[in-house]
Chains A and B, each alone.
Chain A
Amino acid sequence: MSGALQDWKSQKKPFAAVATAPVFWLGLFFIAPMTIVWLYSFGQNAGPADIDISGTLDNYKRATEWLYLSIFLKSFAVAALTTLICLIIGFPVAMAITFAAPKWRPWLLLGIMLPFWTNLLIRTYALMALMGSNGYMNKGLGGLWDGASWLRTLVGMQPLEAWTPVQLLYNNFAVVLGLVYVHLPFMVLPLYSALDRLDKSLIEASLDLGAGHFKTFMKIVVPLAAPGIFAGVMITLVPALGAYLTPDLMGGTDSQMIANVIERQFKRANDWPFGAALSFLLIYAMFILIALQSMRANKVKEAG
């Protein structure tokens, strides 16, 4: 690269021209709002529309009560399960795109990305329509049930009872399915970019030397694609942990995630300081996840 970075002092005018707007915007419309939330998290309600920032830690203490702690743990479990399912579904898809004929590759990528560009609410709604009690998923299951029933009569057994539509929506299963549906593209793209960089002759060498496809996959492909796997896991886990819309629309009364609890503090429960404390706990959780990921990345760099 020609030309190192220029010192801002030697170029004060151009620096001011480019730096003013972004720094101003970031300060006024990001740092200021976040700071107010942070301050509120140490406050308490003093009157209907008045919050007294008294430096109390009560909001954080309340957040460690089992009721809220369990919702945190549950959100984490749901996000982790979603990520795992996305990884299992996404890895073969990313491999298929990597090893596809060059003329197909961009179209397969586009196929994965197009839903990602489509409105999240519309996608959630479309999935809900399919999963409703007289939606196609129930019809499909009903068809399978009738088929099973018919098979039983063939071998001389009593037919099964008539199919009653099952409740697919408004439970934890629906939340996980909805989250997988929404986040799958997030997982496939980083996996693909890692696999694409992988030196294919290593796989060939492994196969030539007598390792089977499965062994080659576990010993060569997975370790070499590790950075992509970790990136994909992070990029799926972080938004899934803070998901609001999917648990709100597709979940039942017991499938609330942490974002729904935060929302309630600001709307129905009207306890802004507690909601502020919960949002900062969620932000800290993200920071810990990201710090873990970058520590791992640094270790790999040092070792390599």
Chain B
Amino acid sequence: MFNRTAIAPLEYTRKLWMRSWVGLTMLFLYAPLVVLMIFSFNDSKRNVVWKGFTLKYYEKALNNDSLVEAMVNSLTIAFLATIISLVIGALAAVMLWRFRFPFKGLVEGTMSLPIIVPEICLGVAFLIFFAKLDWPTDLAWPLNLSAITIAHITFCFPFVAMVVRARLASFNREEEEAAKDLGATEWQAFRDVLLPHIKPSLVAGALLAFTLSLDDFVITFFTSGPDTITFPVKVYSMVRFSVTPEVNAASTILIILTVALTFIALKYQGVKGIAETH
């Protein structure tokens, strides 16, 4: 980092102002999160002065039944939505990549709409849709999460399709033809030739879908019935009414979970692979 060779004209990153700019931007991005995490261990109700280390807010958060329930709900929804989005998204990608069919442009365009349409409009649409269908809200767990899960799948699977399709572009169709010439059935060719090729994009797509689902507040806010809460909805109501260190503790747990997931993906794909996902 601090080698003494002269700065070449294009080594903009070695210039001091550029470094400070990047440093300040990173500070802007991370300082709030780091402060939040540090103060989740602070032994004081007020958030600003350090009074000593404690884990009592973690204990409180973990003993807060509705908070734990919200967390479990969120993870369940994210898990289900990821699996179904993965299947539908991968199928959609193969469909668009392999076939010529009538109204293809229309189907393709419509599929990118859930990505473009503002969250609030999608949330409103699901609110009306489920009200119109009289979707039951008092089912037993985990069926009471079905409306939210359906809504999440709708905005997650186009992302999966996008990632998988990008990967399919590099597939050599001759491999599949060779497999078929050697007697593989359509399904065997899919399972043994195409699927291994798109596996990295499935991992990336799954990770993306999981994070999107776990992150979503607006659509869930409109889709959830009166008795089903997810983690973001719960945090929202806690932040609205009062800021407590409990929220800090719960948030820290979720941040650590996200970072851990990212690093697992990193191990799987390398930093570059993750970067290319977006």
On A, residues with C-beta under 8 Å from B are 1-3, 5-8, 11, 13-15, 17-19, 21-23, 25-26, 29-34, 36-37, 40, 89, 92-93, 95-97, 99-101, 104, 106-123, 125-130, 132, 134-136, 139, 181, 184-185, 189, 200, 203-204, 207, 238-239, 241-242, 244-245, 249, 259, 262-263, 266, 272, 275-276, 279-280, 282-283, 286, 290
Contacts and interface: CB of A to CB of B under 8 A. Distances in A.
B144 interface: no
17 contacts: A1-B173, A7-B99, A19-B101, A22-B91, A25-B157, A29-B154, A34-B117, A36-B132, A37-B124, A92-B18, A104-B13, A111-B29, A112-B29, A128-B239, A129-B47, A249-B239, A259-B120
Contact of B121 (A189, A207, A282): A282
A259 B118 contact: yes
B125 A36 contact: yes
Nearest to A111: B26
Contact of B111 (A22, A37, A189, A262): A22
B254 A110 contact: no
A192 to B, nearest CB: 9
Interface residues of B, number: 93
Given A30-B154, A111-B26, A118 B128 contact: no
Given A37-B128, A203-B9, A262-B124, 6 more contacts: A6-B100, A21-B91, A128-B239, A135-B47, A181-B29, A259-B120
Interface string B103-115: 0000100110110
Nearest to A135: B48
B22 A11 contact: no
- Pairs of residues from A and B, 3 with the lowest C-beta to C-beta distance, nearest first: A242-B118, A106-B271, A33-B129
Interface in B9-34: 9-13, 18-19, 21-22, 25-26, 28-33
A127 B33 CA distance: 8
A100 B10 CA distance: 9
Contacts of A107: 271
A8 B102 CA distance: 9
B124 A279 contact: yes
Interface of B: 9-13, 18-19, 21-22, 25-26, 28-33, 35-36, 39, 46-48, 87-89, 91-92, 94-95, 98-101, 107, 110-111, 113-114, 116-122, 124-129, 132, 150-151, 153-154, 157, 161, 172-174, 177, 186, 211, 214-215, 217-218, 222, 231-232, 235-236, 239-240, 243, 247-248, 251, 254-255, 258-259, 261-262, 266, 270-272, 274-275, 278
Contacts of B125: 33-34, 36-37, 279
Given A18-B94, A93-B25, A107-B271, A99 B11 contact: yes
Contacts of B122: 33
A185 to B, nearest CB: 8
A29 B124 contact: no
A121 B235 contact: yes
A9 to B, nearest CB: 9
> How would you classify the secondary structure of chain B's contact residues: helix, strand, loop or mixed?
helix
Most buried by B among A31, A139, A242: A242
B67 to A, nearest CB: 14
Given A93-B22, A126-B36, A99 B10 contact: yes
B189 to A, nearest CB: 10
A200 B10 CA distance: 8
B270 to A, nearest CB: 8
Contacts of A96: 12-13, 18-19, 21-22
B271 A33 contact: no
A284 to B, nearest CB: 11
A106 B138 CA distance: 47
A110 B129 contact: no
